[in-house]
Amino acid sequence: MAAVIEARGLTRHFGGLRAVDGVDFSLEHGEIHGLIGPNGAGKTTFVSLLSGRIPVQSGTISLNGEDITHLPAHLRVRKGVAYTFQITSVYPRLSVFDNVALAAQSRGAGDVPAEVAQALGRVGMTGLDGAQAGTLSYGHQRLLEVAMGLALRPVILILDEPTQGLASGEIDGFKALIRSLVPQTTILLIEHNMDVVMDLADRITVLNFGQVLAVGAPDQIRANKAVQDAYLGGDHAAG
Amino acid sequence: MSFGPFLLLAVLEGTVMAAVLALTAVGLSLVFGVMRVVNVAHGEFYMLGAVIAWFVTYYLPFPPALVWLAALIIAPLIVALIAALTDTLVLKRLNYDPEATIVATIGLLYMLQQAALTFYGPDARPVVAPFEWRIQLPWFGYSGYKLFVVVAAVVILAAVWLFMTRSKAGLVMRATQVDRDTAQAFGINVDRVYAGTFALGGALAAAAAVLIVPIQQAHYLMGHDPLLLSFIVVIIGGLGSIRGTLVAALVIGLSDGIISMFFSPTLAKIIATLLVALVLVFRPQGLFGAKA
Amino acid sequence: MTDGAKVWGLHLLVLAAVFAAQFLLPPYHATNLARIMVLAVFAMGYNIAFGYTGLLSLGHALFFAAGMYGMGLPVWHLEWVSVPALIAGLLAGGVMAGAVGVLALRTAGVSFMIVTLMFAQAGYLTLLYLNSWTGGDEGFVVASAARQAFGFSLATDTPRFTAAFVLFAAGLLACLWLVRSPFGRVMVAMRENEERSRMLGYDPFRVKLVALILSGLYAGLAGAAYGMLFGYVGASFATIQYSILPMLYVLLGGAGTVLGPFLGALLMFYLIDITSNYTDAYLFVVGAALVGLVLFAPKGILGTLRERAWRWLP
C-alpha cells in the first residue's frame, strides 16, 4: 500500500522542551492508525504539525508525494487533511445545519443541503439540523464535530481524542462509525482509551518524549517490552 | 538666532514635553499592564486635572505658589476618585473584557468632555504659574518654571517607581499583573488592586496636567493630544512595559519637540501615528520594551 | 410561512414604510429621515465588519471620509457630476478599506482597534495637511451644478429623499442577501471561532479582508452620498467621532442584525434631536448611551429580540 501522508524527521521544540523530536511517520492508504503515548508525549503537537496548526521547525511532510511542509493549514484542509479538535469546537451559537454546511461549502460542494443531510445521516443525527449546536448534549456535539470532518470529504481524518467523555454505549456506536469510514478515508486516531485503539487500529505508533518508541500492529505493540515499560505497564487503568 | 541655540531651544522644549508625556503615558501603561484595559478616557483624566487646577487656583485665596501646590494635590485626588468609581461601577461589571471596556471608556470620554463643557465652559483659561523666574542664557531667556516641570515630573516618576518596586501595595500590583488568578488565590483583593491601579493611572494624568497648565491653558478639548501621544508612547515602548514607556516618552517627546520646530507639527503627527500603526502590525512587542 | 418568506416580508415592509414616510412626515422630518438613511448605510457597512465578522474597528471614519472626498475632490477639481462622482466615492471607500485591511488585519482584538484608530487619525491629519487640495478644516461646498441627477436637483427635498432611499434600499437588500449567502455564513464563522474556521479550510485573512472591503464600500458610498445630498465636504467627517457613531448605531440597534443599523441610527438621531431641545449636552447622551449599552444591553434591541422571540431574524 502507498503512503498517503509521510513525515520525515519532524521536529518542534518549545524553548527547551522537545515536544516533537525527529519523528518519521507514514499513514498507509485506507488504514486506521492509532497514535498513543503517555501524557505530554507530543501527540497533539505532532498532529498539529501534520495539520499545519503549528509551523514545522525542521523535517518534511508530504501528502501523496507532494511536499506540504510549509503549506498553510487552511490549504491543507482543502487538500484533504481534516482535523477534529480534542476539545469540542463546534460553533455553539450556530445551528447544526450551519455548522456542517460550513464544512461542506468549504470544498465547494454543489448541493450543500444534500451534503449536510448525508453527513448528519452518517453520524446518526438526522433531524437535528435546526437545533442550536450549543444546546446539544456532549455526545451529540462530538458527533457533530465528526460530521463536520466528514462533510469536508477528507483524504485523511485526524481525530483527536474522539471518545473522551463519551458513555460506553456511545463508544460502541462510535467504533462502528469509524469502521464505516475506511477505506475511502484514512484515519489517524489519537486515543487514550486503550480498548478502543486496540480494537480499531490496523497499526499503532507509540510516541514518548517526542520520539517514536514503536510502530506496529496492536498485538505487537501489546507485546513490546519498551512500550510496556514506558506506558502500558503499571498504570494501564489510568490511561 | 543661529542654528545651535535654536536646536538648544528645541531640545529644552522637547524635554519639557517628554517629561509631561512620560507622566501621562506611565499612567496609561500601568493601567494596561496590570488590568489589560485600554483606557480611551485617559486624555479626559488629564483634561479634568487641568480644569480642576483652574478651579482651585481661581477660587482659593492663597498666593500663587500655594494654590498651585494645593491644585497639585487636590486635582489628582479628585480624578483618582472618579477613576476608582468608574472602575467599580463600569469596568468591573464588564469583567474587563478588552473590547467592551474600550467602548465604555469611549462613552466615558464623551461624558467627561461634556461635563467639562457644561460646568467649565468652552473657553481656554490660563492658570498662573507658581513662580516667575527666567533663566537668562547667552542667546535667549528661558522659563525657570518649565525646567521645574521637568524636575517635578522626574520626582513624581521616581516616587511611582519606588512605590511599585519597594512598597507592599506595589508588589501586590505587580503580582496581579503577572497572574491575576494566582494573586486572587493568595488572598489578594483583586478588585481593590484594579480600582487602585485605575485611580493611580488617572492621578498621574491629572498631575501631568497640573504641571503643564501654567504653560498651556486649560480647555475642555485639551485631552485629545495627550491621549494620542500617550498611545503612541505606550505602543512604541511595548504595551505594558513601564521601562519601555519611559524610553519611548523621552524619544517621542524630544523628537516631537524638535521635529515640530523645524517641520509642520501636523506632518510630525501624521508620521507618528503611522509609525504606531506599523509598529503594532510588524513589531507588537514595541521598539524599546523587553517583552512586557 | 417559511423563515425565508418572513425575512423578505419584514424587510420589504420596512422599506415600504420608510418610503411612505416622506409623504406623511413634515419636510423637516423627511430631511432628517434622508440623513438617517445615509447614516444607516454607513452603519450597515460597519455592521458587516463588526456585527457579522467580529472586526471591531475604530477607523471607519477614514472609509466614510474616503468616500466623501473621493466624490468631492473630483467634483471640485475635475468638475465631475453626481453619478460618476458617487461611484468614485464608493470605490475610494473600498480601496481605502482594502489598503488599511492588508496591514491592520495582521493584528486582532485591541491591537486591531488601535491600528485602525491610528490609520484614521493619520488620514484626518493628512486632510488638514493637504489643505490646498482638500480645503483643510474649512472643507468646501459641493457645486450645485454637480448635484444634478437624471434632470433633478439633489438639493431639493423629494429627489434628495428618493436618492437616499434608493441607496438605503439597495444597501439593505444587498446586506440581507450577503448575510444569507454562503459567504455570510463564513463571516459569522470567523467571528465565532477563527481557529475552527481555519481548520475547515477558510483563510481568515482573506475572509476578513473581503468583509472589510465590503464594509468600506458601504462606508464610502455613505460618505459620498452624504456630501452629495447635503452639499458639504469637510475634515470633521474624518474625526474619530465618525468612527464612533456607526458603532453606537450598531450597538443600539443590534450588532449582527440587518435592520439593527437603521433602527439604531433612527433612535439615536432622534434621541439627540429631542434632548437637544432641552439641553445642549448631546455628547453626554452619546457617552451615556455607549456605557449603558455595553453594560446592560450588549446585544442591542434587535439582538435581544432575536434571542427572546424572533429566532429567524437575520
- Residues of chain B neighbouring C106 (CB-CB closer than 8 A): 281-282
Res A192 pLDDT > 90: no
Determine the pLDDT at residue B164: 87
SS (H, E, C) C166-224: HHHHHHHHHHHHHHHCHHHHHHHHHHHCHHHHHCCCCCHHHHHHHHHHHHHHHHHHHHH
Mean pLDDT within C24-37: 92
Closest by CA position to C117, among listed C60, C70, C67 = C60
Mean pLDDT within C239-247: 91
| Chain B contact partners (≥3 CB pairs within 8 A) | C
Closest by CA position to B188, among listed B172, B212, B203, B202 = B172
Provide the pLDDT confidence category of residue A231 given band limits of 50, 70 and 90.
low
Q: What is the pLDDT of residues C138-171, one digit of tens each?
A: 999 998 888 888 888 888 889 999 999 999 999 9
Count the neighbouring beta carbons within 10 Å of the beta carbon of residue B135.
Answer: 12
- Interface check for B65 against chain C (CB to CB < 8 A): the answer is no
Rounded Cα distance, B89 and B15, in Å: 38
Nearest beta carbon to residue C193 from set A53, A75, A89: A89
Question: What's the Rg (C-alpha) of chain A?
Answer: 18
Closest by CA position to B40, among listed B227, B270, B292, B276 = B227
Map out the domains of chain B as residue ranges: 3-282
Res A236 pLDDT > 50: no
Mean pLDDT within C252-258: 93
Does the beta-carbon distance from C203 to A72 stay under 8 Å? yes
- Interface check for A94 against chain C (CB to CB < 8 A): the answer is yes
Nearest beta carbon to residue C111 from set B110, B117, B284: B284
Determine the pLDDT at residue C298: 87
Rounded Cα distance, A30 and B104, in Å: 55
Count the neighbouring beta carbons within 10 Å of the beta carbon of residue B179.
Answer: 11
User: Phi and psi for A174 in degrees, rounded to 5?
Assistant: -65, -40
SS (H, E, C) A82-111: EEECCCCCCCCCCEHHHHHHHHHHHCCCCC
Determine the pLDDT at residue B98: 82
Asked if B202 contacts B27 with a C-beta cutoff of 8 angstroms, the reply is yes
Mean pLDDT within B234-255: 82
| Chain A contact partners (≥3 CB pairs within 8 A) | C
Check contact B-A (3+ Cβ pairs < 8 Å).
Answer: no
Rounded Cα distance, C172 and C22, in Å: 18
Chain C residues at the A interface, defined by Cβ less than 8 Å, are 182, 185-186, 188-189, 192-193, 195-204
**Highest mean pLDDT pick, A179-193, B89-103, C219-233:** C219-233
Q: What is the pLDDT of residues B156-193, one digit of tens each?
A: 999 999 998 888 888 888 888 888 888 888 888 888 99
Asked if A178 contacts A208 with a C-beta cutoff of 8 angstroms, the reply is no
Between A43 and C97, the more confident residue is: C97
Asked if B230 contacts B24 with a C-beta cutoff of 8 angstroms, the reply is yes
- Interface check for B270 against chain C (CB to CB < 8 A): the answer is yes
**Highest mean pLDDT pick, A109-123, A126-140, A210-224, B196-210:** B196-210
Does the beta-carbon distance from B107 to C113 stay under 8 Å? no
Provide the pLDDT confidence category of residue B211 given band limits of 50, 70 and 90.
very high
Q: Mean pLDDT for chain B?
A: 87
Rounded Cα distance, A177 and C82, in Å: 63
Mean pLDDT within C17-22: 92
Share of residues in chain A with pLDDT > 90 (%): 53
Closest by CA position to A192, among listed A149, A226, A235 = A235
Nearest beta carbon to residue C122 from set B38, B118, B270: B270
Q: What is the pLDDT of residues C162-218, one digit of tens each?
A: 999 999 999 999 999 999 999 999 999 999 999 999 999 999 999 999 999 999 999
Q: Which helix (H) or strand (E) holds A224?
A: none
User: Phi and psi for B136 in degrees, rounded to 5?
Assistant: -95, 105
Rounded Cα distance, B88 and B199, in Å: 11
Give the cell for residue C202: 477558510
Does the beta-carbon distance from C244 to B106 stay under 8 Å? yes
Determine the pLDDT at residue B292: 37
CB-neighbour burial class of residue A110 (10 A; exposed 0-12, middle 13-18, buried 19+): exposed
Determine the pLDDT at residue C89: 97
Give C159→chain B minimum CA distance, Å.
Answer: 36
Test mutation, A102, A150, A153, chain C, max C CBs within 10 A: A102
Determine the pLDDT at residue C209: 98
- Interface check for C110 against chain B (CB to CB < 8 A): the answer is yes
Does the beta-carbon distance from B273 to C113 stay under 8 Å? no
Rounded Cα distance, B261 and B118, in Å: 35
Rounded Cα distance, B235 and B286, in Å: 6
Asked if A56 contacts C155 with a C-beta cutoff of 8 angstroms, the reply is no
Map out the domains of chain C as residue ranges: 3-239
Mean pLDDT within A1-7: 82
Of B213-217, B265-269, B278-282, C79-83, minimum mean pLDDT range: B265-269
Asked if C196 contacts C66 with a C-beta cutoff of 8 angstroms, the reply is no
SS3 state of residue B12: helix
Asked if A155 contacts A29 with a C-beta cutoff of 8 angstroms, the reply is no
Give the cell for residue B290: 523587553
Does the beta-carbon distance from B93 to C295 stay under 8 Å? yes
- Residues of chain B neighbouring C129 (CB-CB closer than 8 A): 264, 266-267, 270
Rounded Cα distance, C189 and B118, in Å: 45
Determine the pLDDT at residue A234: 47
Test mutation, C183, C193, C200, C207, chain A, max A CBs within 10 A: C200
Res C45 pLDDT > 80: yes
Give the cell for residue A144: 457533530
Determine the pLDDT at residue B291: 43
| Chain C contact partners (≥3 CB pairs within 8 A) | A, B
Q: Which helix (H) or strand (E) holds A216?
A: strand A211-216
Mean pLDDT within C229-252: 93
Asked if B19 contacts B33 with a C-beta cutoff of 8 angstroms, the reply is no
Rounded Cα distance, C88 and C66, in Å: 10
Res A37 pLDDT > 90: no
DSSP C142: P
- Residues of chain A neighbouring C209 (CB-CB closer than 8 A): none
Give the cell for residue A166: 463519551
Identify the residue whose cell numbers are 477563527: C194
Provide the pLDDT confidence category of residue A237 given band limits of 50, 70 and 90.
very low
pTM, whole model, 2 decimals? 0.88
Give A78→chain C minimum CA distance, Å.
Answer: 5
Tell whether omega for the bond before A183 is within 30 degrees of 0, i.e. cis.
Answer: yes
Rounded Cα distance, B24 and B79, in Å: 13
Rounded Cα distance, B44 and B222, in Å: 8
The yes/no answer on whether domain B3-282 falls in CATH 2.60.40 is no
Give the cell for residue A204: 499503532
- Interface check for A86 against chain C (CB to CB < 8 A): the answer is no
Q: What is the pLDDT of residues C266-282, one digit of tens each?
A: 999 998 888 877 777 77
Of A74-78, A116-120, A231-235, B54-58, minimum mean pLDDT range: A231-235
Asked if B281 contacts C107 with a C-beta cutoff of 8 angstroms, the reply is yes
Give C189→chain A minimum CA distance, Å.
Answer: 7
Closest by CA position to A153, among listed A116, A126, A127 = A116
Res B209 pLDDT > 50: yes
Determine the pLDDT at residue A233: 54
Test mutation, B86, B113, B271, B281, chain C, max C CBs within 10 A: B281
Does the beta-carbon distance from C196 to A78 stay under 8 Å? no
Give C53→chain B minimum CA distance, Å.
Answer: 14
Nearest beta carbon to residue A93 from set C192, C197, C203: C192
